[in-house]
Amino acid sequence: MAVGAVFIDHTTASASVARELQGLAKARDLQFVDAPVSGGQAGAQNGLLTVMCGGEANAFTAMQAPAMAFSRAVTLLGGSGAGQLAKMVNQICIAGLVQGLSEAIAFGEQAGLDMVQVLEAIGKGAAQSWQMDNRGKTMVAGKFDFGFAVDWMRKDLGLVLDEAKRNGARLPVTALVDQFYADVQQLGGQRWDTSSLIKRLR
């Protein structure tokens, strides 16, 4: 890389890895931005990723416009490592939401409800979420081939739980859902998408 170039890392990794890369980049007169993404395969294909960035302001400014070619939001959230920490926050939210949605659908099915109809109704109220809008009906239909795999989610949640040990955050629900994803792996669902949590409730 040329001196002064911006090294952008879209990998989801630990904040400590991001800080290590920032140090290596600086030693080579490069700029560095840790910039993990959210939005999955569909978000990438449709140019609708969310990019969470950590690094210095000038490096971020240089990469922001090019990153908008495949993103709908590119945000600087702090110094080196902040992007990775924000991605961890994102994965914590997703884990809890998907488990809640899985339990809701399984409960409704056991109660004899038409869950497609129910999701359409409650999706207009306070229970609405991206997960409900984009995965609810496919979960009812038992389709789990929408990109972000259970194996990848477990890798990410491992990063989250390791960071929580370091910073003292308490994540009881996240730790539990991580074990539920381990159950899905045991069912053969390593490459199913994250909405496959419902499989262990049926």
| pLDDT tens-place string over residues 166-194 | 999 999 999 999 999 999 999 999 999 99
Pairing of strands 31-34, 6-9: parallel
Query: Which secondary-structure segment (H or E) carries 174?
Result: helix 172-186
42 has a pLDDT exceeding 90: no
Distance CA 52, CA 73 (A): 8
Domains of the chain: 6-80 (3.40.50.720), 88-201 (1.10.1040.10)
Helix (H/G/I), strand (E/B), else coil: 67? helix
User: Within 13 Å and on the Cβ side, how many CA atoms surround 102?
Assistant: 22
Mean pLDDT of 142-156: 95
CA distance 87 to 183: 24
Rounded CA-CA distance 48/93 in Å is: 19
Q: Is the pLDDT of residue 25 over 90?
A: yes
- Sign, CA dihedral 167-170-173-177, equals positive
Tell me the one-letter amino acid at 8.
I
CA distance 66 to 59: 12
Q: Characterize the bridge pairing of strands 71-76 and 6-9.
A: unpaired
CA distances from 11 to 48, 83, 152, 185 (A): 17, 10, 12, 23
Mean pLDDT of the chain: 97
Mean pLDDT of 34-43: 91
Examine the residue annotation and report whether 87 is marked as an active-site residue of this protein: yes
pTM for the complete prediction?
Answer: 0.94
| pLDDT tier for residue 41 given thresholds of 50, 70 and 90 | confident
Strand segments, DSSP code E, in the chain are 6-9, 31-34, 37-38, 49-55, 71-76
Phi and psi at residue 111, in whole multiples of 5°?
-85, -5
Indicate the pLDDT class of residue 40, thresholds 50, 70 and 90: confident
Closest by CA position to 60, among listed 22, 16, 14: 22
Closest by CA to 172, choosing from 114, 102, 95, is 95
Per-residue pLDDT, 111 = 98
**Residue 120 scores a pLDDT above 90:** yes
Among residues 26, 87, 124, 199, the one annotated as catalytic is: 87
